[in-house]
Structure 1
Amino acid sequence: MSETPIEYCLKLSNMACSDPDVDFDSIPLAALNVTVRKKLGLYLNPKNAVAADWMAVAESMDFTYLEIKNYAASKNPTTMVLDDWQARSSGATVGRLLSILKKVERNDIVEDLQPLIDDNVRRYCVNQKKSAAPLQVQEVDSCFPRTPERNAMTLEDDPEGAPELFDAFICYCQSDFHFVHEMIRELEQTDYKLKLCVFDRDVLPGSCVWTITSELIEKRCKRMVVVISDEYLDSDACDFQTKFALSLCPGARNKRLIPVVYKTMTKPFPSILRFLTICDYTKPCTQAWFWVRLAKALSLP
């Protein structure tokens, strides 16, 4: 009988991942940490007359000419390419990345970074092993976690009943809260009757922010609206929420994440969201359709 992916990862946890039997194509690109990505940038960012740079890698990942031209304006185009590839493609794996580096004849990178990549993959497999351990409970009465923290996250949660559900989680920074108030008026207090999850209004205090946020985005909210602004780009919380939501829907197959721009920006639009259709409130000629389009997207099954 062949091994399952989980069983295979368990076997890898105490092995050196440079073993030729290891299937790197089963390891997602998310397994590579910041250190490895920075070192890849050190190799690929400089233009090199005799060796392939990040542009050749991006072409092999099927990025378009215009996308590559936009990345060229970044200080670290390699990191941006990796982040976008990871967000938009279910085939973004460690094995595929290594194959691309070999295809563009950058075996020097593969050889130099192999120990670090092996260590990252080993750590990923160990974490998979931990998460795969079964929880022994006396009774299972719901698909939702039944710990006290997750049973009482929001104002309307009933600890003895079903958890409160929402049409959308609103990702925003504090400086944009006035627009969130307008969103509440337009989407909740009109005929649309949508139910939004606004963290400062709906979430009870005293719980771990990251645990509660991920639980809400993944299991309580059908979609997430991201309010994009210059301040958003500097928010660690917004960055976490956006990347977590993108990881749940590679390639945006179910319109789970909806970017919204409500004021003119002076900083570049986040590259990780460039492949998504945005809802733009800054254009006077289309502003009249803004709330209708957003409400329709949030109302989809």
Structure 2
Amino acid sequence: MSTGKRNLSTLDMRSIPLIALNFNVRKRLGLFLNPRNTVASDWMSVAENMGFSYLEIKNYEDCQNPTRKILEDWQSRSSEATVGKLLSILDDVQRKDVVEDLRNLIEEDCRLYLERQKEPPIQVPEVTSCIPRTSERHAITLEDDPEGGKPELFDAFICYCQSDFDFVREMIQQLEQKDCRLKLCIFERNVLPGSCVWTITSELIEMRCKRMVVVISDEYLDSDACDFQTKFALSLSPGARSKRLIPVIYKSMKKPFPSILRFLTVCDYTRPCTQSWFWARLAKALSLP
């Protein structure tokens, strides 16, 4: 090993946040911990040591990848969510085999994370992360000028999964076709086919829409597209952090509300006492400058 490269024994792992671990490490953790095991500890033992309650752990059983989910939620809600703490938990539940197998990958992730922290920031408040650099972003919606004119703008991007489209249709009727006269960005309706979904989505959320409405449901929690859209909006550059996210719940849920959005005020349609002013309240939030 070169002199400039540190290993796990010399790194202060408790000072390195869990975000340092990339997708590959998290995937391999899931391969070890997701299977229910009567001999070795699984993800449930890890979640218990992270501080999750019995009810939370029971709800995570419905997740396709519970290990990934508990890592994400633990990372978002606990200041103790560090690489060192995770390794300590794995040691406490007698899963040293996991640590040994992933040692080199964890070391590399931590080293790269520390190197990135030394790099000067490339963004300033006046700069956004989504300046169009290719022609693909010039004509992406039905009303865009293909000759490069003024792009179509919206009051809000609607983040939803297909099973919730009936409620989105009601949202269109209430917010676009009545006195509100708001303009919503519905991906399947407004976006032209043939472009890269992730590129176009990021362009719409950051550059074209003032707000983002997130329709929360059990199905939303299992949607990779919704997960990407929500996390992208929450991780925008300093110049775009004034963008307001509005979580909306329209039906009862079996799974826990996403912890990444718990700090936001929710617009709840499931409460009969608030339904009479639900649409007016949502319209007012979307109409703010």
TM-score in terms of structure 1 length: 0.66
Task: Check whether the contact 2:13–2:84 (CA below 8 A) recurs between aligned residues.
Answer: no
Task: Check whether the contact 2:47–2:57 (CA below 8 A) recurs between aligned residues.
Answer: no
Task: Check whether the contact 1:87–1:246 (CA below 8 A) recurs between aligned residues.
Answer: no
- Identify the residue that residue 45 of structure 1 maps to in structure 2: 43
Aligned length: 262
Unaligned runs of 5+ in 1: 1-11, 48-52, 59-66, 134-142
Where do 1:115-194 residues align within 5 Å?
115-121=104-110, 144-158=131-145, 159-194=147-182
Q: 1:256 to 1:21 in 2, by over 3 A?
A: same
1:68 aligned onto 2:39: no
Deviation at 1:35, TM superposition (A): 2.1
Task: Check whether the contact 1:54–1:77 (CA below 8 A) recurs between aligned residues.
Answer: no
Task: Check whether the contact 1:165–1:220 (CA below 8 A) recurs between aligned residues.
Answer: yes
Where do 1:188-227 residues align within 5 Å?
188-227=176-215
Greater shift in the superposed pair: 148-157 or 168-177: 168-177
Q: 1:108 to 1:231 in 2, by over 3 A?
A: closer
Deviation at 1:190, TM superposition (A): 3.3
Deviation at 1:44, TM superposition (A): 6.2
**Counterpart AA for 1:152:** A
Q: 1:37 to 1:92 in 2, by over 3 A?
A: farther
Distance, in Å, in 2 between the alignment partners of 1:43 and 1:243 is 30
Q: 1:68 to 1:87 in 2, by over 3 A?
A: same
Task: Check whether the contact 1:80–1:272 (CA below 8 A) recurs between aligned residues.
Answer: no
Distance, in Å, in 2 between the alignment partners of 1:223 and 1:114 is 42
SS in structure 1 opposite 2:132? Answer: coil
- Identify the residue that residue 19 of structure 2 maps to in structure 1: 29
Task: Check whether the contact 2:141–2:190 (CA below 8 A) recurs between aligned residues.
Answer: yes
SS in structure 2 opposite 1:152? Answer: coil
Give the percent of matched residue pairs that are identical in Structure 1 and Structure 2.
54
- Identify the residue that residue 55 of structure 1 maps to in structure 2: 48
TM-score in terms of structure 2 length: 0.68
SS in structure 2 opposite 1:241? Answer: helix
Where do 1:229-244 residues align within 5 Å?
229-244=217-232
Deviation at 1:279, TM superposition (A): 1.8
Distance, in Å, in 2 between the alignment partners of 1:300 and 1:26 is 39
Unaligned runs of 5+ in 2: 35-39, 123-129
Task: Check whether the contact 2:43–2:66 (CA below 8 A) recurs between aligned residues.
Answer: yes
Distance, in Å, in 1 between the alignment partners of 2:57 and 2:9 is 36
